[in-house]
Amino acid sequence: MAPIPKTMFGVVIPRPGGPEVLEYRTDLPVPSLGEGHILVRNEYIGVNYIDTYFRTGLYKPRSPSSDSNHPSTSSHDTSSPYPLITGKEASGVISASSHPSFPVGARVVYLADATYAQFTLLTSPQIQATLLPACGRISPETACAAHLQGLTALTFIREAAGIRQQLGISEGPWTLVHAAAGGTGSMLVQILVIMGAKIIATAGGKQKCERAKRLGAQWVVDSTLPQEEVIRQVKEITSGRGVDVVFDGVGKATFETVDLEIVARKGMVIVFGNASGPVGPVDLFRLMPKNIKIMRPSMPGYITTPEEKERFTSELFDFLVKGKIRANIHKVYPLKDVAQAHMDLESRKTTGKLLLKVE
């Protein structure tokens, strides 16, 4: 194993802002190992929409004292979470370990804070990390590409929506997935296919709609059409009934005006993101006429114990190894080009997963 340096490279957010605030640095302190921790030398880092929320300040970072990966060593401002290293997932090789189940030299894929860096410290590896050999023949690139978004799709289908495998029964629930050609949307569609659901996908434009169809959605609706037309098409497809579950990572632009219209009586709207902005306060009376359920889940809230991690990662990686789902990689960017990756993701140009490569 190469010796661990005292400083590392990584990407820092000095203050909230646009992609231009992302600052590539080569002088960041390498986090130090404590009891039960592991230090990972990252190879691939996943880019997720949540990274943009931490960059813009929509989501507030925790204070430095609660985060051992925090790069600040300054003594004059201990209350500010900035400068911040963002990023929520990566794959790489364990460089140092004080955890008996995670030996130095082993490859892992993991969820943690501060992954836009050469090294990341994992303080609860049993909940955060999965040893890659345990996942079969999956490369570190594929594992990273499928991990966070795949776990999000799987836990939301199983836990939030309560959808179980239909095992050959053709009468699965009616579902609708917004932004179905995106990273999380692609995973939702593919896993819903396995569950035997009837899937209507919405996506922005002809090419993205074709992609959603190839992923297995039986019906597609172009979300660039006026919303009345989107609603009309969904009602036509479902013979006026509406869908049992809406999976919505778009948020503000679709929740009130589309989701509450297309959801069936006793149906459920699962809003899980803010790609178009956060959903505002909800008038609960809007739920009354159709007895609608709404949920606002977060994937980490379903993976809080080693058992939960084991259950969902093994199911996800089993789907991958058996070829039932694929990680569709849009592009692999060098870590230095992270600003371009954020710009591409926010401009709705991308399909599938964006990765950063650490060289």
User: Edge to edge, what strands does the sheet with 174-177 contain?
Assistant: 219-222, 198-203, 174-177, 243-248, 263-271, 293-295
Tell the smallest beta-carbon distance from residue 174 to ligand NAP (Å): 20
DSSP string, 91-159: EEEEEEE--TTS-TT-EEEEE-S--SBSEEEES-HHHHEEEGGGG-S--HHHHHHHHHHHHHHHHIIII
Report the residue from 118, 175, 274, 328 that binds ligand NAP according to the rule CB under 6 A: 274
Contact pick of 141, 340, 346, 357 for ligand NAP (by CB under 6 A): 346
CB-CB neighbours of 58 under 10 Å: 13
Pairing of strands 219-222, 198-203: parallel
201 three-state secondary structure: strand
Q: Which string of x and - marks every residue 286-325 that binds ligand NAP (by CB under 6 A)?
A: -----------xxx--------------------------
Q: With respect to ligand NAP, which residue has the nearer C-beta, 107 or 309? A: 309
Continuous segment of H or E residues that includes residue 205: none
Report the alpha-carbon distance of residue 301 to residue 299 in Å, rounded. Answer: 5
Q: Does 328 bind ligand NAP (CB under 6 A)?
A: no
The site for ligand NAP, by CB under 6 A, has a size of 30
| Min separation Cβ 31 and ligand NAP, Å | 24
Q: Does 241 bind ligand NAP (CB under 6 A)?
A: no
The span from the CA of 12 to the CA of 256, in Å, is: 36
Task: Tell me: does residue 203 bind ligand NAP (CB under 6 A).
Answer: yes
Query: How many angstroms separate the CA atoms of 247 and 82, rounded?
Result: 33
**163 neighbors 191 (Cβ within 8 angstroms):** no
Q: Which is nearer to ligand NAP, 49 or 333 (CB)?
A: 49
**Using rule CB under 6 A, residue 44 touches ligand NAP:** no
Check whether the bond before 83 is cis (ω within 30° of 0): yes
Span 115-174, contacts to ligand NAP by CB under 6 A:
149, 152
CA Rg value for the chain: 21
Residue number with the smallest Cβ distance to ligand NAP: 273
Q: Please give the single-letter amino acid code of residue 280.
A: G
Asked if 84 interacts with ligand NAP (CB under 6 A), we say: no
Whole-number minimum distance, CB 302 to ligand NAP, in Å? 9
**Which residues, other chains included, contact 208 with Cβ-Cβ below 8 Å and sequence gap of 6+?**
180, 181, 351
Smallest distance from ligand NAP to CB 182, Å: 2
Maximum C-alpha span of the chain: 64
Distance CA(228)–CA(178), nearest Å, equals 15
Considering the complex, state which of residue 41 and residue 147 has its C-beta at the smaller distance from ligand NAP: 147
Binding region for ligand NAP (CB under 6 A) out of 5-13, 43-51, 133-141, 278-286: 43-51
Collapsing DSSP to helix, strand or coil, 40 comes out as strand
Using CB under 6 A, which of the segments 45-53, 106-114, 305-313, 320-328 binds ligand NAP? 45-53
Return the number of the residue (125 or 182) whose C-beta is nearest ligand NAP: 182
Asked whether position 222 contacts ligand NAP by CB under 6 A, the answer is no
- Binding flag, residue 250, ligand NAP (CB under 6 A): yes
Binding site for ligand NAP (CB under 6 A): 48-50, 149, 152, 179, 181-185, 203-204, 208, 223, 249-250, 253, 272-276, 297-299, 345-346, 348, 350
